[in-house]
Amino acid sequence: MTMLRCGVADIINGTNWMHYGKKRHDYRHGLLHTVSHYSFFKDSPKWPASQYHLTYGVLQSTPVEAIDPVARAFKTWAAYSQFTFSQAETLADAKIKIRSERMDHRDGNPFDGAHGILALAFSPTNGRFRYNVDEQWSVGAKPCVVELETVALHEIGHHLGLEHNSIKEAIMYPLIDDGATKGLHANDI
């Protein structure tokens, strides 16, 4: 099985940023004590408070099969965050723009062909979200291909300000086995 990864860097100028900005959130509910660990991007970029409802648009270059898994991923994040989401009527109105790209898509973060970097999203308020068109994508778990909704959950996490997580079970972990699916983990929320 091949380990595939997100295109957001973990090591920048020789420094591992995966643990930068780690926040500890301590929740006590009766006898149950849980701790959530997640990391924010360096300098903690955020959407303005007036923009907690985010719109997204899917460019025509993106296969139609990707639309429903992306919508489900936004719905999942809406259930566990302060954000709400809807599909914009026009691409110009979208805060997050989703497209499929190949190799060098002129943003300084080129894809590497198949079996490597799956997708790339930027921190708030940069709304770019790119799927690598050279990967083999699926709706639902299938052997030796990449599941669209799992990758969308991960990349949307970046748009909400989350950095990579060192917990392998977390959606914000930067690597995933081909054929695997994941949902949000306690360490993502």
| Active site amino acids | 155
Residue 42, φ and ψ in degrees, nearest 5: -55, 140
Q: Read off the pTM.
A: 0.77
Residue 172 in contact with residue 162, Cβ under 8 Å?
A: yes
Tell me whether residue 54 is in a domain: yes
pLDDT per position as a tens digit, 131-169: 888 888 888 888 888 899 999 999 999 889 888 888 889
Q: Specify the number of domains making up the chain.
A: 1
Name the binding residues: 105, 107, 112-113, 135, 154, 158, 164, 172
Angle at 119 between CA 115 and CA 123, to 5 degrees: 150
Within 13 Å, how many C-alpha atoms sit on residue 113's CB side? Answer: 0
How far apart CA 42 and CA 69 sit, in angstroms, is 29
- Say if residues 54 and 124 touch (Cβ distance below 8 Å): no
Task: Measure the CA–CA gap between 15 and 139, rounded to whole angstroms.
Answer: 36
Bridge-based pairing state of the strands 128-132 and 119-121: antiparallel
Check residue 49 and give its pLDDT: 86
Q: How confident is the model at residue 23 (pLDDT cuts 50, 70, 90)?
A: very low
Structure tokens at 64: 């139609």
Asked if the structure places residue 117 within a domain, the reply is yes
pLDDT value, residue 37 = 58
Quote the pLDDT of residue 109.
Answer: 66
Tokens of 104: 């060098």
Nearest Cα to 40, choosing from 112, 128, 123, 144? 123
Binding-site positions for Ca(2+): 112-113, 135
Binding site, annotated residues for Zn(2+): 105, 107, 154, 158, 164, 172
154 within domain boundaries: yes
CATH code assigned at 115? 3.40.390.10
Is residue 13 included in any domain, yes or no?
no
Full strand arrangement of the beta sheet holding 128-132: 84-87, 53-58, 96-101, 128-132, 119-121
User: Does a structural domain hold residue 125?
Assistant: yes
Domain containing 156 equals: 41-104+111-163
16 found inside a domain: no
38-79 tens-digit pLDDT: 666 667 677 888 889 999 999 887 878 889 999 999 999 999
* Residue 172 included in any domain: no
**Would you say 101 and 133 are in contact if contact means Cβ atoms under 8 Å apart?**
yes
89 in a structural domain: yes
Query: Are the C-beta atoms of 157 and 125 separated by less than 8 Å?
Result: no
